[in-house]
A and B are shown apart, each in its own frame.
Chain A
Amino acid sequence: MSVVAEKADLSLKYTAHYNEVKEGLLEDSADILNAPRNQAFRDFVSQGIPTRKFENYKYTNLQPAFIPEYSFMHRREPVEVDLNNAFRCDVPQLDTHLAYIFNGWFYDRGSQVGNLPEGVILESIEKIAHEKPELLAKYATLAKTGDDPLVALNTAFAKDGYFLYVPKNTVLEKPIQLINFLQAEKDAFVTQRNFIYVEEGANVQVISCDHTLNLNTYLNNSVTEIFVGPNASFEFYTLQNQHNSTTNLNSVFISQSRDSKATTHYATLHGGLIRNNLKYILDGENAEANLFGMAFIDRKQHVDNFTQVVHAKPHCQSNQFYKNVLDDEATGAFAGRIHVVRDAQKTNAFQRNNNLLLTDKATMQTKPQLIIDADDVKCSHGATVGQIDEEALFYLRARGIEESKARLMMMNAFAYEVVQRINIEPLRNRINELVDKRLKGEVARCHDCAYNCDC
């Protein structure tokens, strides 16, 4: 079959599927989730599945990921595994409010949420949409369906995901941990829609971990909308650890009010094709945004970090720091856009992207961008692709450290710059350990995976 025919078929396939399941999607969902569905699907059709011809997807072709015959997880299905046995959290000493999300559905049995402070809600978005739709008043206002086909497709299919609400001036001592599992009988297309609302003066840390529990092919398309209120503090850690035939497409949108602080941290340890869309809107004065990311990938894995930071108000600050280590035939991409709108004066925006290529077959593509329409700003970006600094290496060797060790030290230091920004200590230690193992070649490939696959 020709490529052109395939492409047309692909769009038709999804259109046919939508028409087929539309009734079911609308049937048992709340109005608030149903309202944008049809328009969202039209937006998806008009944009199509992204190819390299889309400027925003220049370095990631998603067409092949949409080709397999997936079964769609539009309904909550009974969970057959005992999650507590099938999965051990691989971060020891981490004491959290734990909840599971299973194939995109919030799983309320067996979770270890524990005692949440008064007023904090950690629930299924489906339930909230039915019972307290007023909390979802801002649903789909950040994730615009006209801007991105994946967001459009997610909005059209959205049924469930997690919902987190932290009331005014509430400080959570323990982080909230959300574990996203993929396990289906057949290859599966999973849609997950999340919503986080952090009220004024509140303080919360969220850890989101992605895992696969068997070897089927998965496509996971998730969208998370996050609102951070005035003077609130929010930290979001994402650990990606899925097998090689997973496509993980996730879009996170964060809107910050004045004096708030938000930090995102992506650690990509394993995965097939990963696309992290991340958009910050600094919508209040004196807000601070921190974006960190690191990826250690090999084989034919692909990681694409796509960030946008919109400085909509004056006196805001943003820092971006992304590091990638690419081995074998891995391909990496980074695109970061800082947009300072007119009159957003006194903006400080910084961005750095450093990449290490370990083989000649690994490739890295980076696209840092600045769009600046105000004059009293300090903005800079820097990007490097290369290897370890030979002079530093020489320095170490001159002090009697053998080359392989020196190289490892340097690589560790390279990664540590990002790792050290993790504020949850057990998590930082664990990631540091994993990175260390990974760099030593004792690859923690699907570490602790019970399936011993050769992926």
Chain B
Amino acid sequence: MTDQDKILAEVTQSDYKYGFFTDIETEIIEKGLNEDVIRTIWEKKNEPDFMLDFRLDAYRKWQKMKMPNWAYLKVPPFDFQSISYYAAPKKKPKYQSLDEVDPELLETFKKLGIPLDEQKHLAGVAVDAVIDSVSVKTTFKEVLAEKGIIFCSFSEALQEHPELVRKYIGQSVPVADNFFAALNSAVFSDGSFCYIPKGVRCPMELSTYFRINAANTGQFERTLIVADDDSYVSYLEGCTAPMRDENQLHAAVVEIIALDRAEVKYSTVQNWYPGDKNGKGGVYNFVTKRGICRGESSKISWTQVETGSAITWKYPSCILLGDNSIGEFNSVAVTNNHQQADTGSKMIHIGKNTKSTIVSKGISAGKSDNSYRGLVKVMPGASNSRNFSQCDSLLLNDTCGAHTFPYIEVGNKSSIVEHEATTSKIGEDQIFYCNQRGIDTEKAIGMIVNGYAKEVLNKLPMEFAVEAQKLLQISLEGSVG
């Protein structure tokens, strides 16, 4: 075994470091899904009437849909009746200060490194922490409230701002958009809601952490971000999940609506439990994320670092409806062991002079499969539109796979669409070059992988960049510094 092989072998054999389980009493309703379950969720959450119609409509449409099978994934058959669709921490905490919060929960957060405590004020992070679907604690709300920013859990938003939710929900991800979005619309339990009023620049990075905790409960998060005219917000989402043997389903929906000249930056670090070395267990991550640039000159950018999940099915997209609007997608996806990822982006150009950029970096190791799948569609009316896509894949050994499936559809003559993709392994000459300069092979691989992903990592906000590096390190242990 050469040095390089040894290092790669070590890399591919690291264990998942965030595997732990917090013993909190949770309230779980019966397994299975039917209209009664949906009514129960609606009742338990004490939601306004329009939500029941919304949920039932989604459920009825979902029943007629089939699980998509076009992705380059091997998804084991999944029984949607075998999971419980609602789990809430039993004692819903309403604490004034951190001291009152269940210490065990705080311990969990500490292990995850969630900045829930006061120190994080300095870091400028307001956290809406979500454990198993119900928001536990929202911080910095007052600071934000002064500016008129609404940042709260989805349930709270439904109680306090039902008119806003009603106006915007389903606008960028319609209930029957796809199988998983419909399922989410029917049964989503909680999530985050964010509204930035006209002309307000959000002074801090908003962030939310998701975790799957209770066994056998699917997590159906729903996030809705509305940026009104001339506003700006940067939103962070990060997730880690405890180790668990049974597969867990995660079908979240994120909707972003950007009005005139608004800008939304959405960053994700995803590190759900990927399953063990033999491909046992792990989270199924079927997420629908879509932003719609409704207003002119608006901008939505997605940045993601995907290192976890046994199966990832995720295509953060932008609908560029307003003239001169801009969509961006930057992604680093790492797959190891038996992980499978089919991820990419959709850019739909509808308005004139719209621009979009896609940068996707895939890193495959172990026996994993990593696919980029993307659509760039320029409608006939979207004159002078511009897209540039680049997707690179890096293969770390001969048992993994890297695949690229771009779709490009152009409907007018004044637009320019370019797509580039390359696939390669780390060049021996590159490693040799580093060795020559006294850098050992392990560090060299780390440097090369990091340099490869840098273009995307640079797009992350400061607070997240550190965590993203950490996650790369965990995923490709031993070689990445």
Q: Which A residues lie at the B interface, using CB under 8 A?
A: 55, 342-343, 345, 355, 357-387
Contact = CB atoms under 8 A, between A and B. Distances in A.
15 contacts: A355-B410, A357-B412, A360-B413, A367-B406, A368-B404, A369-B403, A370-B421, A370-B423, A376-B398, A377-B395, A377-B424, A378-B424, A383-B419, A385-B378, A385-B416
Contacts of A374: 395, 398
B72 to A, nearest CB: 8
Contacts of B400: 373, 375
Interface string B383-423: 10000000001011111111111111111111111111111
Nearest to B378: A385
B397 A375 contact: yes
B50 interface: no
B419 A367 contact: no
Given A342-B399, A370-B404, 6 more contacts: A360-B383, A368-B419, A372-B423, A373-B400, A380-B423, A383-B406
A332 B84 CA distance: 48
B7 to A, nearest CB: 15
B70 interface: yes
A383 B415 contact: no
B: interface residue count bin:
35 or more
Given A345-B398, A386-B415, A379 B422 contact: yes
A377 B423 contact: yes
A375 B398 contact: yes
A405 B242 CA distance: 67
Contacts of A362: 413
Contact of B70 (A55, A360, A364, A380): A55
A364 B417 CA distance: 11
Which 7 pairs from chain A and chain B are nearest by CB? A386-B416, A375-B395, A385-B410, A357-B413, A370-B404, A373-B401, A379-B423
A364 B415 CA distance: 11
Nearest to A378: B424
B358 to A, nearest CB: 13
B161 interface: no
Most buried by B among A357, A358, A360, A385: A385
Given A359-B413, A369-B404, A370-B423, A384 B70 contact: no
Q: For chain A, what secondary structure do more than half of its interface residues adopt (helix, strand, loop), or is it mixed?
A: strand
B70 to A, nearest CB: 7
A360 B399 CA distance: 46
A368 B417 CA distance: 13
B414 A387 contact: yes
B481 interface: no
Interface of B: 70, 72, 378, 380, 383, 393, 395-425
Contacts of B405: 367, 369
B100 to A, nearest CB: 53
A366 B412 CA distance: 14
B413 A372 contact: no
A21 B70 CA distance: 37
A372 B419 contact: no
B5 to A, nearest CB: 12
A431 to B, nearest CB: 25
Most buried by B among A376, A378, A381: A381
Nearest to A341: B401
Contacts of A359: 413
A366 B408 CA distance: 5
Contacts of A380: 420-423
Nearest to A357: B413
Nearest to B423: A379
Contacts of B399: 342
B341 to A, nearest CB: 14
Nearest to B399: A342
Contacts of A385: 378, 408, 410, 415-417
A372 B422 contact: no
B417 A384 contact: yes
Contacts of A357: 410, 412-413
A369 to B, nearest CB: 5
Nearest to A364: B410
B408 A383 contact: yes
A363 B411 contact: yes
Nearest to A368: B406
A163 B155 CA distance: 72
A357 B383 CA distance: 12
B431 to A, nearest CB: 14
A360 B406 contact: no
Given A380-B423, A385-B417, A386-B416, A370 B410 contact: no
A55 B420 CA distance: 22
Contacts of A355: 410
A365 B408 contact: yes
Given A367-B407, A373-B401, A386 B393 contact: no
Contacts of B398: 342-343, 345, 374-376
A367 B408 contact: yes
A435 to B, nearest CB: 19
Given A368-B419, A387-B416, A363 B395 contact: no
B157 to A, nearest CB: 39
B424 A382 contact: no
A15 B383 CA distance: 46
B134 to A, nearest CB: 40
B410 A369 contact: no
A28 to B, nearest CB: 44
Contacts of B418: 382-384, 386
Contacts of A366: 407-409, 419
B419 A375 contact: no
B417 A386 contact: yes
B11 to A, nearest CB: 14
B415 A372 contact: no
B425 A372 contact: no
A370 B380 contact: no
Nearest to B413: A357
Nearest to A363: B411
A379 B413 CA distance: 29
A343 B418 CA distance: 31
A233 B263 CA distance: 58
Given A55-B70, A360-B380, A384-B418, A376 B425 contact: yes
Q: Which of A343, A345, A384 has the most CB of B within 10 A?
A: A384
